[in-house]
Each structure stands twice: as C-alpha cells, then as structure tokens.
Structure 1
Amino acid sequence: MKAIRRFTVRTVLPEPLRPLGELAQNLRWSWHQETRELLQSVDPGGWRAAGGDPVRLLGSVPAQRLAALAEDRRFLRRLTAAAEDLSDYLTNPRWYQSASQGSELPSAIAYFSPEFGITAALPQYSGGLGILAGDHLKAASDLGVPLIGVGLLYRHGYFRQSLSREGWQQEHYPVLDPNELPLTPLCEPGGSPALVTLALPGGRSLRARIWTAQVGRVPLLLLDSDVEENNASEREVTDRLYGGGSEHRLLQEMLLGIGGVRAVRTYCRLTGHPEPEVFHTNEGHAGFLGLERIRELHDGPDALEFDAALEAVRAGTVFTTHTPVPAGIDRFALELIGRHFGDGGELPGVDLDRVLELGRENYPGGDPGVFNMAVMGLRLAQRANGVSTLHGAVSRQMFAGLWPGFDPEEVPIRSITNGVHAPTWVAPEVFRLGAHQVGVQRTEDALAVGGSHSWESVANIPDAAIWEVRRNLREQLVEEVRARLRASWRQRGAGDIELGWTDEVLDPDVLTIGFARRVPSYKRLTLMLRDKERLTRLLLHPQRPVQIVVAGKAHPADDSGKRLVQELVRFADDPRVRHRIVFLPDYGMAMAQRLYPGCDVWLNNPLRPLEACGTSGMKAALNGCLNLSVLDGWWDEWFDGNNGWAIPTADDGSGGPASNEEDGARRDDIEAAALYDLIETQVAPRFYDTDGTGLPRRWIEMVRHTLVTLGPKVLAGRMVRDYVSELYAPAARAHRTVTAEAARDLSAWKARVREQWSRVAIDHVEAGSAGGTVELGSALALRVRVALGGLDPADVDVQVVSGRVDDSDRITDASAVSLKPGGRPDLDGRWLFEGPLELDRSGPFGYTVRVLPAHPLLASAAELGLIAVPAEAEGMTAGVLR
C-alpha cells in the first residue's frame, strides 16, 4: 500500500550528544577531516550505508548505540573538542576581519547561482559551475567573507546516471525530502514558514519557502516551490536542475533572481544579518535580481525613476560569465518575457520596454528578437569578469558588440581565474603528508588561505614518502573502481557469476590516467578513441602499460552526448581491454574525491578555447596528479613545461570549432595523434623510469614541482581574495557613493552625453616634433581641436593612444595618455586639447587620438560604449611614424 502522506521522524539525541546535531547540520564537516572522522565513528557501518551523510546517519543510529556513546568518556571528549573547534571557527576573526581595506570592504555580499556543489549529501549541482559556486562559499567561510549564498532547492536534484546493457545512458530522478537533508526551514516569528511570492500572468502566484544550509560561516538560502499554497504546475518549478522547456526555465530564473532578492531581504529581517551591499551574479541565470532591485528603488521611500535606479543597482553589482560560446547562454523569446513582466505579471510599475531593452541583442550579429540573460547581466553590472585569463579574452571578443567602436582588448570584462577549495578536494593522505612536514595548523592555513611559504616546504619531503602516498592513493582508486564497476554491471543485468573478471580490473602499479567531466561535444570524451588500435597498444604495452578511468554525464536531452558515452562504454566493454579502461557511471562529488587523488595524470582535451577554466585539473594537481591537457582555460595560463604536458592543437591560434565537419575531423585526428605521441614517448617512459630503489625520480620531481608552484595558485582562497580586492571592495565603494541623489545626477549626465554624442568630432590633429627630431626619448607636441556640441571639456577625456604598429599600421601594444584642455572654445565652438606624445619605443610607431565620456562614477571609460575618433582613423592606425 502507498502512503498518503510522508514525513520524517527525527532522532532525539541524548543530552550529552546534542552537539552532534549541530556538527551534522553545519556543512563544515564536509571539508573538516576531524569532524568527519568523529561523525563516522558514531556508527561506521551506518556511515557507509548513509553515503557519508551525517544527517541520515543520526536518523538511523540504534538507541542502544546512542546510549552507549552518551556514556563513552573518550568519545565525549572528542565531541566536546569538535564542538569547541566549530565554535571558534564560526566566531573568531579571520582574514577578512583583518584585511587591509578595513571599512572599505562590504558589510555583506549576496552570491547567486543556479546550482551549488557543497557535498554529495546535498545534491544540488550538475557540474563545474555548481562545484565552483560551492567552493566559492566554502572559501569565503574560511576567510571570514560575509557572503550569503542564494539558489534553488531542486526536489529531484540533477539526474542519477546508469547504463543499459548496451551502454546507453539512462536517467533516474530520486525524490529529495528537505527534512532528510542538512537544511533548516526559515520561519517567521510565529513559527510559520517564511515565503516569497512572485506574480504570474492570469492572476496566478508562484510561492516558495526558504530553506537554509549552513556552509561554515556562510548561510545558503535555497528556494523551494513545492509548497501546498501553489497549484500543481507552480509546485514543479523547482523540480529538476536544468530541466523543462523555455517557460519552465524562465520561471526558475525569475524565482532565483527576483525571489532570491526577496529571500535575502526576509533572511536579513528575521536574523539581523547585515543587508548586502554587493550582489554577485554567478552566470546569467540569476540576472533578474537586478530588475527586482530596480523595482525596490522605484517603489522605495526615495523613489527613483528607472534610469537612476539602474545606475544605483549597477554600482553594487558584479557579473561573472562562465560561457565561452553564445550557444551556452540562456535566451528567451521577447514575447515570453513580455508576458511575464507585462500587465498582471512581475515588477509592476517598471517599464516593460526598458526591461526588454536590457536583454535585447540590439548589436551587430545579435538577434533583436531574443532576450539574452548574459547580455542583461552585463548591462545590469558595473563590473564583470571571466574565469581565466584566456576566457576573459574570449569573453571580451564574444561580447564586443555591446561596446561598439572599442577594440576587444578594451571591453570592460576582466579575468579572475577560478580556484578550488583544497580542504574539500585534497585527500587525507596528502594532508597528513604536509602536516608531518610543517604541522597541522600551517597545512590547514596553506590549503585554506594560501601563500607560497608553506607550499615551498614540499621540496623537503623525501621522494620515498611522496611515492608511497601516490601508490597508496592509486591502490584506493583501484578498489573503488572495482566496487563501482561491479555495481554498474549488476544494474546492467549481469549476475555475480559473470563478474569475476572485475577483480582483476586495473593494477595499482600501472600508470593511471583520469578523465571525468560533463559530456558536451566540445569536451571530446571520445578523442582518445580516434585510433582504437593505437590506444589498445598503449593500454596493453608489455613494459609500459597505461590504464584509464573515465566518467561523465551527458545532458538528458543530448542524444549526441549519449552516443559518445555509449561509444566509450562499448570500447571499455571489450574483453581485450576492459581490465585497462573503465567507464564509471553516475559521476559526482563522492566519486570525484577518490578519482582526482588516485590518478597519476589528468587528461583534458577540449576544443580550444571552449573550456572557460576547467577546475577538475586543479583538484587533481593539488593531490600530486600531473596534467595532460590542451592549452585551454587555466592550463593555458599556468602550464610551465615541468608541471605536466601540453597537447598541441591544430588550430591557427584563434581556437574555436572547425568551420566544417571535414576540418573538425582533421583537427581531431591531428590532436589525437599528438595525445598518443605524448603518452607513448614522454608520459609513460617518465613514469616507468625508475632507479635502483624502484623510485621514478624524475616523475616525483614533477609532482613536487606541481605542488610547490600550482598549490598556492589554484586555491579558491586565492580566488575569493581576488574577488574581494578587485571586485567586491570597489563595488561596495561605488554602492555607497551612488546615493539616490548621485544616481539621479549620473543618469541625467549619461542621458545628456548620449543625446549630444553625435555632435562630438575630432576636427584637427596637429603634431609638432620636439627639437625637430623623431628619436627614442623625444616627444611630439600634440594639439587637437574637438567639437563637443553641448558638452563641456569636463564631460570628456581626449586621449592620445600610441604604441608599436604592425604591417597593417594597427597599434598592437597601445597606451593612452589624456590631453589637457586649453583656453576657451574658438568661434566655431571647438575646444583645443594639448599634450606631449612621448616616443618611448623604437621601431614602427603610431598614434591616434580619441574622445571618450568621462565621469568620476564610471568604472570604465568604455562603460557607455561611446567613442569618437578621427575620420581617417580605422582601428587606431592614424599618425604612423617609422
């Protein structure tokens, strides 16, 4: 019989064990080894059965076991120490509280993301974006950054993956009960659930309750539409991560952005948490948060018109783009947006046409009939960034249409390279190796906060100790793989009598390569299969064999990705090679935490430059795994020739997909051959090149070099510190400066500049040489006459832009110097601007001049997308000197 109602009966812990509940509810246990070991010791068998989830564990521990623990003095001492350690962690000042910026730092930051990968016990993530968001929260907690995370609670999470007998991906959607997760409902003072409400067309409403997960010091608010007050269709809005059609996705993103801001306001009202001064949009899915904040200012006590409210909102908003291809961005039909934001929909009183213009692709190459979430995100944020140096360059090129007239290099999108949360991803064995060398506290600080000093001590760890840990981790991975492979084959219909061969799968002494990620086509899961016979020879080499562990999920709607999975699985099923290559279904955090440390080499072969960052290789590197990767994402930035290998690419340096199928196939053939060559001639020989003691000294030296040089760089702590100094602190200063009055003044100034800009023109440029020479170290005296229309000299910045020029007279290393206005306008209303042009570089040299809007509250001279150049200048090539 089926139950008509489901609820969760929670265990009542004996009084001496009450701190266990607090430890289990704060997700710090997921990255704090001592707390995890304490929770595991409550019931080791129950811990395994609960999948390492302490909330589930405590709900299933027998009463007699709890009674015994309540009398166990040794356990109670450990429990008291763990509880005190958590209390110290939550209350003592950390890096942020002593940071040099002091009062310039924001009182709070709201961080919005569609997914968060905190722990496998809270499955609200699908891949890299969610894991990055989870690591961002954890690192912020370790540093004491006052972050509030905001997301959605998906009742089915992302899908669980299994394989059919034929190797076809199958999806399963388990039902998640929030009462069985490490979550707490946010309640009003009377005890009723706190709700946020959105208006839908036709007089309907979308309501969501707010659950909180405590990620160390950071609260994570998750909105859940599965509440009794909603109709059936509204209850399903938060059913699955990245599921449903366009309207379903739109409702999810409205709830995340608009509902998320309302949830933050509710949380701060009920808890006394400081209101955020900075709002960080992690990818475009949450972009509607800016519209809600405009509505707040529009309806507030000091009501602002749309343009002024927009300026106030932009000042304190940060936008991070993770997508290197336009196809990866959410885009909606304008009619759909209009239906939900027009009469009877959300944001009453906010001009619908202005809303539509924020997301419209009204630039060359865009589609003015669609609403682009990333475009809206960029227009609503005064500060934006990509997630690696290369990705920043790709993003500036991709979104250059929003800043017409500017070279892509000047598009105001900077780069902050991603990092990973080392305490989450570093294996306990690697942690203990470092702790033995420099002590527990210094090791914890090195992993959480960064700094190169502690990492340099890795150089003093004996070769034998490093190799013993690496071999131990490889052996653990082999055991994990065999267990998961047996479970997978049972799901595929095999009986135990057929699975004896799995006991011989992989070898703890064989070079192990790992490859695990989502399976879109650009990540090229099957590039390794391009020449199956050559791969087979590498796997079965009599002296230098290779073994490969592969995992990954294709999107449920992506049949081409599923075919790639099936091709890989069918190859791995071949009895000739199945002991050397395996595909593990249901890739997730729990698997990853064994996979990264256990591999010797981490493989990454995307189509360059379509990998925005690729943080899986960072996690592997922190465990002494060497990277074998295309120069894309973070690897393009930090590969140095001694920390792994770079797979040569067949592109011309510009990257991107091939122009046609034939070129794409040729590119795959060339790059696959390069991959095989590297493994055969460099990677495997170095791994198996041992001395008389059996140690591969040159390999160990590469491991040591990887840890010393990459360790401090790839940390999420470094990443979050960069966000604080480069984005959060400037955004907080701008937020405080752009008061209601300042916002009105700024919006009025921008309107005046836009109205007059068509009348701005450079009429004459005169360059006189200094001393009659054009030599290195001399200067040219520039005089530029500019028509400003109805603008004043204070409204503009007249610049001379100079540098070396290429064969087409294009300036390649431009630097800009402002010229000063002199005197009054002439009879034609033109202003004179003067200044020297220093000839500080030899060789072909060129200059041009330009006029940009100038205002102290602009974060970038390109912010308005307005520029005036001489009529003869095309791409800054005027005035070439040779």
Structure 2
Amino acid sequence: MKAIRRFTVRPVLPEALHPLSDLARNLRWSWHAETRDLFQSVDPERWAASGGDPVRLLGSVPPARLAELAEDRRFLRRLAAAADDLTDYMSGDRWYQFRSAESDLPAAIAYFSPEFGITAALPQYSGGLGILAGDHLKAASDLGAPLIGVGLLYRHGYFRQTLSRDGWQQEHYPVLDPNELPVVPLREPDGTPAQVSLGLPGGRRLQARVWLAQVGRVPLLMLDSDVEENDLGERSVTDRLYGGGSEHRLLQEMLLGIGGVRAVRTYCRLTGHAEPEVFHTNEGHAGFLGLERIAELSDAGLDFDSALEAVRAGTVFTTHTPVPAGIDRFDRELVARHFGPDAELPRIDVERILRLGMETYPGGEPNLFNMAVMGLRLGQRANGVSLLHGNVSREMFSGLWPGFDPDEVPITSVTNGVHAPTWVAPEVFRLGARQVGAERTEDAMTVGGRTDRWEAVAEIADQEIWDLRRVLREQLVLEVRERLYAAWRQRGAGTAELGWIEGVLDPDVLTIGFARRVPSYKRLTLMLRDRDRLMELLLHPDHPIQIVVAGKAHPADDGGKRLIQELVRFADDPRVRHRIVFLPDYGMAMAQKLYPGCDVWLNNPLRPLEACGTSGMKAALNGCLNLSVLDGWWDEWFQPDFGWAIPTADGAGTDEDRRDDLEAAALYDLLEQRVAPRFYERGQGGLPDRWIEMVRQTLMHLGPKVLAGRMVREYVERLYTPAAHAHRAMTPDAARELAAWKARVRAAWPAVTVDHVETSAATATAELGSTLSLRVRVGLGDLSPDDVEVQAVSGRVDTEDGIADATATALKPGGGPDGEGRWVYEGPLSLDRTGPFGYTVRILPSHRLLATSAELGLVTVPPEGAVEEAGVLMR
C-alpha cells in the first residue's frame, strides 16, 4: 500500500547532543575521519544501514539510545572535541589567509558546475566533472579559499544502475527528498525560503528554491525548480542530471548560469558574505552567468560592449572536453526564443546574445549556438585541465583567434588534482601518521607542494608497505563479493546458484582496477580484444591477474550499454568469473573501496581524448601503480620508476580497428612480460622488493603533484588573482574606454600593414651570438603607435619555415610618421641558437587592459616580397 503523502519527521535531540546536528549538516564529516567515527559510535548497525550518512542515521536512532548517549560522559567528551575541532576549522586562518597577507587575493570566487560530487549521501554527480568540482570545493575549504559553489539540486540525481539477467544496463531514478539530504533551505529574514526567478517565453516564470550545503568552509548553493509555484513542466527542469531534450537542457543551463548569479547575490545579501570578484565556469554549462552580469551592469548604466569588457575581466572559463562532440550546442532559434522582451533578459538585444555563441570560424555551423564558444568570449582567462589537454584545446578553438598559431591561443592549463582526505584509505593515513605524525600527514595531503612530507615515505619499512597493500587488497575482495552477490540477486539469481561467489578474487593475486564512465573513447572492452590471451593472463599458473571493472553508460548511449553487456557476458563465464568481475552502480562509495584495494589502475583511452582523468590519481595516493596510455595527466607525469605507459598507434594512417588491435596487444605484452612478473618476483627477504619500491616512488613523487590542494593553489595564483586584479581595474570608465578602443581598432585594422622589412644580414649564414639590425616600415592607418606593438618573432625553423620555439621581441618606433604617414620601427635581433633559424615581424593590438595581445584575434604579418635582406620568413 502506498502513502498518499510523505513527511520527513526530524529527531528531537537532547540538548547535550545538539552539536551532532551541526556536525551532520557540515559535509566536512565526509572527509574527516574522527567525525565519521563519532557518528558510527552512535549506532554501528544503523550507521552501516544509513550508508554512512549522519542525517539518515540521526533520523533512525531510537530516542532511548539518544537519551543514553546524552548521559554518556565519554561520548560527550568526544562530541565536544569534534565540535571544537569544527569550530577551529571554520574560523582559523589557513593557507589563503596567510597568502592574502602577502598578496591582494580575491575577496570571493563563485564556482559554477552542473554537478558536484561531495559525498554519496548527496548524489548530485555523474562522473569526473562532478567529482572534480566536489574535490575543488573541499580543497578550497582546507586552504581557506573564499569560494561559493553554485549548482542545481536534482530531485532524481543521476541514475542508479542495475543489470538484467543478460547483462544489459538498466536505469533507476530514486526520488530524493531535500529534507532528507544534508542541505538546508536558504531563508529570507522573515523565514520564507529564498527563491530566484527566470523569465520564460510567453511571459511565464520559472521559480527555483535555493538550498545550501555547507562543504567545510565553502557554501554550496543548489537551485531546485520543484516548487509549488511552477507548472508541471517547470517543476521538472531540475528533475535529473543530464536528462531530457534540448529545451530541457537549455533551461537547466539558464537556471544554473542566470539563476545561479541571482542566488549568489541573494546569499551575499542574506549572510553578509563578500560579493565575488571572480566567476569561474566549468564547461559552457553555466556560461549564461556572463549574460546576467552584463544585464546587471547595463541596469547600472553601462552599454552592452562596456559591460561585456567588465564581465570578461573577472571571468575564468575551464574547458573539460578534448572533442567538439562533448560541447553543448543549441539551435539558434531555440536560444533566441528564450531571450528578449517576451522572455529572459528583456533589455538585452537578442542578436548580441546570439553573436556570443556563433561559430564564426571555418567549418562552424552558423545555425548553432555553441556554449563553449560563448564561454571563451565571455571569459578573459581560459584553461584546459592538463598540459596535453591545453595543447588540444588551443588547436580545437584556434579558429576563434585567426592569424595566430595554436600555441599562442590564450588558453592555458591547470592540471586537475584530487582531494586526498576523501580518497586515501584510513589505513594509508594511519601509516603516514605513524611515520611523521597525524598533523603533518594531514598537512601533506591538503596543502600541496610540500614534498618534504612525502619524502618521509622513504623511511617506511618494506614489510609495512607490503602488509598494508595486502590488507587493502583483502578488504576489496570482501567488498567485491558482497556487491557481486547483491548484483546477482538483482539479476534474478537464487541463493542456491551463488555459492561460487565465495571464491571470487584472491587477496594474494595481482589486482587490476578499471572504473569510469563508458563512452566509446575510454575503451572499456579493449581488454577483450583477444579473449583467449586475456583468459591466459587471468588463469596463468604462476602469475595470475584479477580484474575489477565498474562503470555507467549514459542512459541514451546504447553503444556504451552494449560494451558493458559484452564485458559482463565475458565475466559471467564460469571459467574466469572468479578472476574478473563487473560491479554495477559505480559511485563514490564504491570508488573509495576500489582505488585503495587495487595494485594496478588501468586506463586505455583513445589518445588524446582523455582531458585529464583523475581516477588514476586517487589510486596513486593509495600506493596503486598506474598502467595507462600517455594521455591526460599521465602524459605529463609518467616515469618508469612508478608505472607503465601503454604504447599507442595514433598515427593518422592507422584505422580504428587496427589501432585497437595494436594497443590491446601492447597491453597484453606489458601485463605478461613486465607487470605480473614484477608483482610475483621475490627478493632475498621474501618480499617483492622492486614492486614495493615502485609503490614508494608513486607515493613520494606523485603524491604532492596529484593533490587538489596543489590544483586550487594554482587556480588562485595563476587565474583567480589576476582575474580579480583585472576586475578591480575595470572600473566603469575603464570598461567604456576599452570597449571604445576595441571598436576603433577593429574598424581601423584593415588599413594596418607591414610594408617593408630590412635586415643587416648580408648572407644566409651567421655566427651564434651575433646580432642583426631590423628596420620595419609599417602603415597604421587611423591608429597610432600607442595602439599597437610591432614585434620581431624569431626561433628555430622546420622544413616548411615554421618557427617552432618562437621568441617575440618588441621593436621601437624610430621617430614620427614619414610623408606618406608610414612609421619606421627598429630593433636588434639576437641569433641565440644554432641551426636553421628564421624570423618574421608582425603587428598586434596593444592596450594596458588586455590580458593577452591575442585577445582581439587581430594580427598583421608581411606580405610576399616585403623582405629586402632576411633569413627565413614565416608565413
């Protein structure tokens, strides 16, 4: 029988236990072991049944048990210590506060993402982007950085995954009641829930409530459209993550971006929190936030172009995808219908909005609105998420900066990191604490950059490391058996046919993990390319391996579901099912057991389609070795001392099937000839000395690099702080000045020319260390030397005269304009390297408020025949 109405009945805690409520509502418990231990001691069985969720736990504990705890002096001392620790954590000075004393850091940063993976108790994530966003907030909290997170609260979250009897993925969408989640409504002074509102076509309104999740020191604002004021269609806008069609997705992104800014303003008004100086948008999902900020400034008296410059100055855009297919693109007419006088942002010309997202480069689609393109045009600073991804992004978006080589496209990179306190097993932490102390271990895992803390791993005995790895592997084996049993029961198996599960996996066998989303480029089934060979590896008499696999395919991706089914059917084979398993419903709770328990983490995407890939980082922090294609972060930090690189066949002439065959064969060879033998090889003391040394090197050298603390510090120093300074410099008058200057430069640029280049070189060869004199005659049209920079660009050249490692040197005007209005620029050119050397000259716009000389996408180079005496001229 179903209930006709649902209530959430909250427990009434005895006064002595009131601090439990504060501890439960601050998500710091999700990465603070002492607080979790305290909640577990309330009722160990109910703690397990709640999935480690303090809010659910407190809602299920009988009043008699609460009364008992209220009289338990030992428990009350532990409770007081945990409450005091949280107070110190929330109020004490941390890295950011000490850094602010030295440098003028942003007062606040608003961080927007469509998903946040904070804890399994708040299931608002689907994969890597959400987990990264959650780790970003946690690391910012640990560092004391004043972030405000902004996202959506999905009533169904992302789907729960089960398997049919024949291995087909099935999706389930449990209803999430915010009153049962670790969130509270943001309230107005009169106690009513705070809401934001968006205009819809036809004069309708979309209302959304604002929920607050406290992530340590960082508030996370989550917008929820399931409110009574909305019609059924509007109520479903935040129904599920990445669900629905184009209009549904567009409304989600409008609510996230435009509604998110309004929610931030509301939060700052109600709490007195500093207004953000920097807005950070991840992917194009929240890109509309720039439009709302333009509208705010327009209402304050700025014209559109000036407001655009002011908004760009304080905006950071991060791209997370290396493929155009991963970017949200909407039909131009659909976007146009949702803006303008009869919809949202009525005072902004719809054509100006549409122009921001137009693909105005060769090969672009004129009728599509590209969210990433809008994000790049609305952000003065942009980055990819690994060095390789930065290169790929500069190539992918180079059409927005015509005339510039890809390496000059203004997109930098900050390599992702992971939040160690969330992902490091308690046993690993305790080993570090025994070695250097708990406080120093926590500092090593949160701040980042402190290599001296990690070097202490060198002093840990081999036996201790090997014993730890064995304990973690055994824990994973037990976890896998429990989950596998539940999965088979869901698939319809009876108890009598599942006795074999007790023999699944062996705590003394080399264990390989592979878990991630299942798009085709991640190649879940590459390991199945030669099934006979894989079977031999699994069943090898001396060097067997065992593999634990998990992952979800997007509900609309039947191709990904077929890959899962293919792997499940192989894992169901009675000959190997004790050596390879697929675990359904991959999520944070499973991942926290999986990473520490594996010996090797496998990653075999199609290079270079993995933007960063952080699962291997989490594994590395637990002493798990990486076996991966050189893609994402592994391309940047791989060394043979602590892992293996799978050779790739990514030449242009290799077709997809042939490439998979070659790379699968390389994977089998590595496993058979190098990985497995090293794991089973024993030294004189009976331990796998060389394997243990690789574990040690992984912890020492990768540990400090893969931390989210290191990542957030880089964002603060390289992107947030420059953006805040640019924001402060962009006063209304400065914004008007820059907008007017850009308009004047764009109009005048067709008349900017390089007419003639002279050099003192008399021959085609010269000696290292010598200097040439350059003399360049240019036409500036209606511009003056104050509006431009004339540069000599020099360096080594390739066989096609392209300058590979270019150095730019500014030339100086030699006087006033000549009789024809031309200017002469002069300067020295140092020949500072041997071999084929070349140079060219170019003219770029120049203004003190530009972040980069490529910002306008304007450049003028010499035409054919402009060089009188020269080395090589680059085209």
Please give the range of the TM-score, normalised by the shorter of the 2 chains.
over 0.9
Query: Secondary structure, in 3 states, of the residue corresponding to 1:270?
Result: helix
Q: Residue 390 of structure 2 corresponds to which residue in structure 1?
A: 392
Q: Residue 355 of structure 1 corresponds to which residue in structure 2?
A: 353
Distance 1:799 1:881 in 2: 14
Distance 2:763 2:669 in 1: 60
Aligned residues: 871
Q: Residue 635 of structure 2 corresponds to which residue in structure 1?
A: 636
Deviations 1:526-553 (A, max 9, x none): 0000000000000000011000000000
Residue identity opposite 1:218 in structure 2:
V
Distance 2:805 2:684 in 1: 53
Of residues 325, 331, 334, the one that matches 1:333 is 331
Residue identity opposite 1:154 in structure 2:
Y
Unaligned runs of 5+ in 2: none
Q: Residue 180 of structure 1 corresponds to which residue in structure 2?
A: 180
User: Is the 1:770–1:781 Cα contact (8 Å) retained in structure 2?
Assistant: no
1:724 aligns with 2:716: yes
Q: Residue 598 of structure 1 corresponds to which residue in structure 2?
A: 597
Residue identity opposite 1:813 in structure 2:
D
Distance 2:765 2:540 in 1: 69
Distance 1:486 1:293 in 2: 52
Distance 1:769 1:631 in 2: 44
Offset, 1:643: 1.1
Distance 1:629 1:338 in 2: 44
Give the stretch that moved more between structures: 675-684 or 686-695: 686-695
Deviations 1:558-611 (A, max 9, x none): 000000000000000000000000000000000000000000000000000000
In the TM superposition, 1:66-145 aligns within 5 A as 66-99=66-99, 102=102, 104-145=104-145
Q: Residue 741 of structure 1 corresponds to which residue in structure 2?
A: 733
Distance 1:771 1:391 in 2: 42
Distance 1:512 1:873, change over 3 A: farther
Q: Residue 44 of structure 2 corresponds to which residue in structure 1?
A: 44
Give the stretch that moved more between structures: 275-284 or 662-671: 662-671
Q: Residue 25 of structure 1 corresponds to which residue in structure 2?
A: 25
Residue identity opposite 1:520 in structure 2:
P
In the TM superposition, 1:641-720 aligns within 5 A as 641-652=640-651, 663-720=655-712
Q: Residue 518 of structure 1 corresponds to which residue in structure 2?
A: 517
Offset, 1:690: 1.1
Distance 2:361 2:178 in 1: 44
User: Is the 2:794–2:806 Cα contact (8 Å) retained in structure 1?
Assistant: yes
Give the stretch that moved more between structures: 64-73 or 555-564: 64-73
Query: Secondary structure, in 3 states, of the residue corresponding to 1:455?
Result: helix
Q: Residue 497 of structure 1 corresponds to which residue in structure 2?
A: 496
Deviations 1:126-165 (A, max 9, x none): 0000000000000000000000000000000000000000
Deviations 1:47-96 (A, max 9, x none): 11100100000000011111111111111111100000000000000000
Offset, 1:769: 4.0
Q: Residue 403 of structure 1 corresponds to which residue in structure 2?
A: 401
Query: Secondary structure, in 3 states, of the residue corresponding to 1:148?
Result: strand
Q: Identity of paired residues, percent?
A: 77
Distance 1:812 1:251 in 2: 45
Deviations 1:724-751 (A, max 9, x none): 0000000000000000000000000000
Q: Residue 382 of structure 1 corresponds to which residue in structure 2?
A: 380
Q: Residue 264 of structure 1 corresponds to which residue in structure 2?
A: 264
Distance 2:763 2:116 in 1: 64
In the TM superposition, 1:122-271 aligns within 5 A as 122-271=122-271
Offset, 1:102: 3.9
Deviations 1:306-329 (A, max 9, x none): 000000000000000001000000
1:848 aligns with 2:840: yes
1:831 aligns with 2:823: yes
Distance 1:855 1:700 in 2: 56
Distance 1:600 1:486 in 2: 23
Of residues 748, 751, 754, the one that matches 1:756 is 748
Q: Residue 655 of structure 1 corresponds to which residue in structure 2?
A: none
Distance 1:285 1:873 in 2: 48
Query: Secondary structure, in 3 states, of the residue corresponding to 1:365?
Result: coil
User: Is the 1:162–1:171 Cα contact (8 Å) retained in structure 2?
Assistant: yes
Query: Secondary structure, in 3 states, of the residue corresponding to 2:223?
Result: strand
Query: Secondary structure, in 3 states, of the residue corresponding to 2:12?
Result: coil
Distance 1:248 1:779, change over 3 A: same
Distance 1:31 1:780, change over 3 A: same
Distance 1:250 1:268 in 2: 26
Offset, 1:384: 0.2
Q: Residue 550 of structure 2 corresponds to which residue in structure 1?
A: 551
Give the stretch that moved more between structures: 632-641 or 686-695: 686-695
User: Is the 2:457–2:696 Cα contact (8 Å) retained in structure 1?
Assistant: yes
Distance 2:100 2:730 in 1: 23
Q: Residue 531 of structure 2 corresponds to which residue in structure 1?
A: 532
Q: Residue 5 of structure 1 corresponds to which residue in structure 2?
A: 5
Residue identity opposite 2:251 in structure 1:
L
Deviations 1:598-632 (A, max 9, x none): 00000000000000000000000000000000000
Q: Residue 453 of structure 2 corresponds to which residue in structure 1?
A: 454
Offset, 1:509: 0.1
Deviations 1:10-58 (A, max 9, x none): 0011111111111110000000011111111111000111001000000
Offset, 1:100: 5.8
CA RMSD of aligned residues (A): 1.4
Distance 1:696 1:27 in 2: 40
Distance 1:773 1:515, change over 3 A: closer
Distance 1:711 1:772 in 2: 51
User: Is the 1:769–1:779 Cα contact (8 Å) retained in structure 2?
Assistant: no
Query: Secondary structure, in 3 states, of the residue corresponding to 1:474?
Result: helix
Offset, 1:692: 4.1
User: Is the 1:872–1:878 Cα contact (8 Å) retained in structure 2?
Assistant: no
User: Is the 1:404–1:865 Cα contact (8 Å) retained in structure 2?
Assistant: yes
Normalised by the length of structure 2, the TM-score is: 0.98
Offset, 1:807: 1.2
Residue identity opposite 2:18 in structure 1:
R
Offset, 1:4: 2.9
Give the stretch that moved more between structures: 71-80 or 135-144: 71-80
Q: Residue 481 of structure 1 corresponds to which residue in structure 2?
A: 480
Offset, 1:203: 1.3
Residue identity opposite 2:730 in structure 1:
V
User: Is the 1:690–1:697 Cα contact (8 Å) retained in structure 2?
Assistant: yes
1:415 aligns with 2:407: no
Q: Residue 283 of structure 1 corresponds to which residue in structure 2?
A: 283
User: Is the 2:761–2:870 Cα contact (8 Å) retained in structure 1?
Assistant: no
Q: Residue 858 of structure 2 corresponds to which residue in structure 1?
A: 866
User: Is the 1:30–1:36 Cα contact (8 Å) retained in structure 2?
Assistant: yes
Q: Residue 296 of structure 1 corresponds to which residue in structure 2?
A: 296
Deviations 1:320-359 (A, max 9, x none): 0001000000000000000001331101111111100000
In the TM superposition, 1:773-792 aligns within 5 A as 774-792=766-784
User: Is the 1:362–1:368 Cα contact (8 Å) retained in structure 2?
Assistant: yes
Normalised by the length of structure 1, the TM-score is: 0.98
Distance 1:473 1:496 in 2: 28
Residue identity opposite 1:387 in structure 2:
V
User: Is the 1:96–1:145 Cα contact (8 Å) retained in structure 2?
Assistant: yes
Query: Secondary structure, in 3 states, of the residue corresponding to 1:99?
Result: helix
User: Is the 1:770–1:778 Cα contact (8 Å) retained in structure 2?
Assistant: no
Extract structure 1 runs of 4+ deviating beyond 2 A: 1-5, 100-103, 691-694, 769-774
Query: Secondary structure, in 3 states, of the residue corresponding to 2:759?
Result: strand
Distance 2:195 2:88 in 1: 32
Offset, 1:827: 1.0
Deviations 1:484-532 (A, max 9, x none): 0000000000011110000000000000000000000000000000000
Residue identity opposite 1:25 in structure 2:
R
Unaligned runs of 5+ in 1: 653-657
Distance 1:495 1:771, change over 3 A: closer
